[in-house]
Chain A
Amino acid sequence: MSLPLPTILLVDDDDDDVLLVRRALGSAGWCGPIQRVADGQELLEYLLGKGAWAGSPLPGLILLDLNMPRLDGRSALARLRAIPDLALLPVIVLSTSGSPRDRSEAIELGANDFIQKPSTYADLVAAMRTTREVWLP
C-alpha cells in the first residue's frame, strides 16, 4: 500500500503549453493527478478552496507561468508567499523568458526554481523528469 500521489498544479493560460507539459510529465513517468488553473487569480482561489475548488487538496508542486491575464505569476507568487500555510509550498516558475532579470526576480519573490521553457520536446521531458525527481516523492 502506497500513499496517494500529490497533485501537480499547472498555472498557465496557454492551452498549448498545458498540453505539452501534461504530456511531457507523462513521458517523464508521472502518473499522479495534474490540475490546471488559467491565471494567478484562479490559483489563489484554488489554494484557498474557493468556489469550484472547495475541498481540493493542496498541490504537492506548482508549475507557475509568469505572463498571464488578470493576476500574473509574479503577483500571485508574492501573495501566495504571504500566506503562512503556503509559505513552504514548492513553486517552480516555468517561463518562456530566458532573461536573467526575470529569473532573479522570481527567486526573490520566493520561487523554488526557475525553468526556461525548453525549445525541444525532449528537453522539456528532461526538465520535467528532473523537477519531479527533485520536488516530489
Chain B
Amino acid sequence: MATSGSFHLPLNQVSNLGVSLDRDGRIEAVNAALCSFLGRTEAQLLGADWFDTAISTEGRDQVRAVFARIMLGQVALVRHYQNRLVRADGNAAPVSWFNLPRRDEHGAIIGTLSLGDPLEAVTDTGSGEPAALRSELDLLRARLDEAQALIDHNPTAVLVLRAAQGQDFLDAPILSVNNAAAALLQLPISQAIGRSTRQAGLRLPWEPLRQAILNAQDPQISTVHLPELHTIEGQDAGVFSVRAFRLGADTVGLTAEDVTQAWRERVESHRQAQFLETVLDHIPDMVFVKEARDLRFVRFNRAGERLLGLSRDELMGRNDNDFFPPDEAEFFIRKDREVLATGGVLEIPEEPIHTRDGVRTLHTKKIGVHDESGRPLYLLGISEDITDRKKAELELERRALLLEQSNRDLEQFAYIASHDLQEPIRKVRQFGDLLAESLGPDLAPEPADFLRRMKLAAERMQGLINDLLTLSRVNSQDRANQPVNLAQRISDLRENLADGIAAIGARVEVGPLPVVLGDQVQLDQLFTNLVCNSLKFHDTSREPVIQVHSRMVSPEMVEISVEDNGIGFPPDEAARIFLPFHRLHGRGDYDGTGMGLAICRRVVERHGGRLIAEGRPGQGATFRVLLPLAPAPK
C-alpha cells in the first residue's frame, strides 16, 4: 500500500471508506470499501484525479478548496466534512469525512488521508463516531497527548495567542501555554489562559515581532526568529531568544528560549577579547598576528594602523602580498616561514617597509605560536619604528665623521703651518745674530737693547712653533704600539735630566714600574714633560721631592703617578692647565710656552688612557696617567 508519512493506516483493515491523495489531489491509495461504494475497481481509481472522478459536479470546487486548506495545514477547520460522491452508476451519495494531512519526515504536508462513512449508513452509536473510526481517533488522541506532553515539558516557553479582528497581539488573549511559559508569566496555566501578555505583565519585544509578523507575505505559518537577544522585562529572567510562528491570520505562536547562560559566556569572552584588544591598542609599537597557514592578518593594533596608514578593515584577512612591493612581501613571508619552522624569537634589527607615508625602518621581532603538539597556529610580530632614531644615528655618525675630518684638517694645518713658520723665524734669528756680530761691540746701548729684545722675541716664537709642531705631530703621525719598559725609560730620563735635577738639589724616587703598550718616543716626551714640570715648579723653601709610582687599576690598565711637593696649583685650575698656551704664571716668574701639559694630555689620549691633575697651592701637584699594560709575555 502506497501510504507514507506520519500516519500509516492500513486502509483495508478499516470498514470505513478510505482514500489517500497526493498533494495534487490524485488518488494514491484506496480501500476495498470505497471501491465497492463507488462501483469501480482499484485499478480504475489509482492515479486518477479524485475530484473529477468521485465528486459531484456541483460540489467539486468547494471540495477542492477544502483540500487546499488541508494542504496548507488548516486541518482543524476541515477535519470533519461532508460531501457527495458520484458512483459509477451515476448516482450520488452523501458521505461524512474525517480528514488528516500526511506529512513527510520534515513535517511538510505531502497529501491527505480521509476516512468516510456513507451518511445513510450512519447509525447512532452514542458518540456519533463509527466504532472503527473511534479506535483510530483514540490512537490519534494518544499521539496528540504525547505531543502535548513534549511541549509542556520543553524548557522553551511556548504561548499561543489569538487576536480578534483588529486587536493588537499585545492585548490578544493567551490561548495556550506550556509549563515553561507559565513559569515565565509567574501564573498557573489555568490563570494564564485568557489573559493578554500585557495583563500578565510580560513585556515581550513586541514591536520587532509585530513588524516581522505583519511583513510576512505568506499568509500561512511563518516563523520569525529575532536575530538579537532580548531581555524580557519584568522578570529577573535574563536573556531570551524569541521566535514567533504565525499559525493563522489571527493566531500567533511564540517561543522564548532562555539563553542567559550562553549570553553571559559570550559577553565574558567578548569582554576578554576587548581587554586584549585594548591592551594591544595601547602598545606604542606595531603588533600583528597572522594565521600560520596563509599568513593572513587576524589581528592588528592601532600603532600598526597608524604606521602603515591602513585601517584594520583593510588589513584583516589579507596578507603581505596585498600591501607591499613583491620583493618586500617576499622577505616578510620568508622570515615568517622561518620562525614558524624553527620556533623561538626571530629578530630583524632593521627592515625597510613601504607605508602610505613612505619607506620606514622597523626593528621587528617575530614569534611563532604553536599548539601543544607543535603545530604552528599563529605568527606574532612586534615592530618598533626606528626610522627617526636611525636618522638621528646617521646624522650623528655624519657629524662625527665631519668633525673627525675637520680635526684632521686642523691638525694637518697646524703641522704644516708650524713647519713652514719655523724657517722664517730661524732666519730672523740667524740674521739677527749676524747683524749683532757685524755691528760689533761698538753698538750704542739703546740699539743693542732693541736688538737683544728682538732676538729674545724671535727665540720665544721659535719655542712656541716647536711646541706646536710637537703637539700636532702627536696626532698627525702614526703611533707605534709596542711594549715600552717604563722602568728603563724613567731611568734614562733621570740621566738626561741629571743636570736640571742637580741644579735645584731635587730628590727623585721611583717605585717599581710596569711594561706598558705604546709609542716610546711619545711616552718619553710625556714623562719628560711631567718631570720637567715638577722640577720647574718646585718650592724653593724645601727640598724638592719627585715620586714616580705605579698602581694596577685593572688587568689591562695601570696608573702611573708623578707627584711633587712643589708650589701646586688651585684645584679649579685642574682642567684648564691642559689647554694649549694656557699659563698659570707670568712670564717673568716661569719660562715656558704653556704647551707642555697640552702635549702630555694629547699623548695619553692617543694611547687610550687618561691624564688627571690634582693640586693645592703650596702643597704640590700630582699627575695621574692611565695607560694600557703590555700583555704579559707568553
Contact = CB atoms under 8 A, between A and B. Distances in A.
Interface of A: 14, 16-17, 20, 23, 96-101, 117-122, 124
A68 to B, nearest CB: 13
Interface in B383-433: 419, 422-423, 426-427, 429-431, 433
26 contacts: A14-B423, A16-B427, A16-B431, A17-B427, A20-B427, A20-B430, A20-B431, A20-B434, A23-B434, A96-B423, A98-B469, A99-B473, A100-B521, A101-B477, A117-B423, A117-B426, A118-B426, A119-B429, A119-B430, A119-B462, A120-B430, A120-B433, A121-B430, A121-B431, A121-B433, A124-B430
A18 B426 CA distance: 14
Nearest to B462: A119
B459 interface: yes
Q: What 7 A-B pairs have minimum CB-CB distances, sorted nearest first?
A: A121-B433, A121-B430, A96-B423, A16-B427, A119-B429, A119-B426, A20-B430
Nearest to A96: B423
A119 B477 contact: no
A120 B419 CA distance: 17
A119 B419 contact: no
B96 interface: no
Chain B interface size, under 10 / 10 to 19 / 20 to 34 / 35 or more:
10 to 19
B466 A98 contact: yes
A98 B415 CA distance: 12
B437 interface: yes
Interface of B: 419, 422-423, 426-427, 429-431, 433-434, 437, 459, 462, 466, 469, 473, 477, 521
Contacts of B427: 16-17, 20
B73 to A, nearest CB: 116
A96 B433 contact: no
A17 B469 CA distance: 21
Contacts of A117: 423, 426
Given A16-B427, A97-B419, A121 B477 contact: no
A61 B433 CA distance: 26
A137 to B, nearest CB: 28
A121 B437 contact: yes
B123 to A, nearest CB: 147
Nearest to A14: B423
Contact of B429 (A17, A97, A120): A120
Nearest to B423: A96
Contacts of B423: 14, 96, 117
A106 to B, nearest CB: 16
Contacts of A20: 427, 430-431, 434
B354 to A, nearest CB: 55
B428 to A, nearest CB: 10
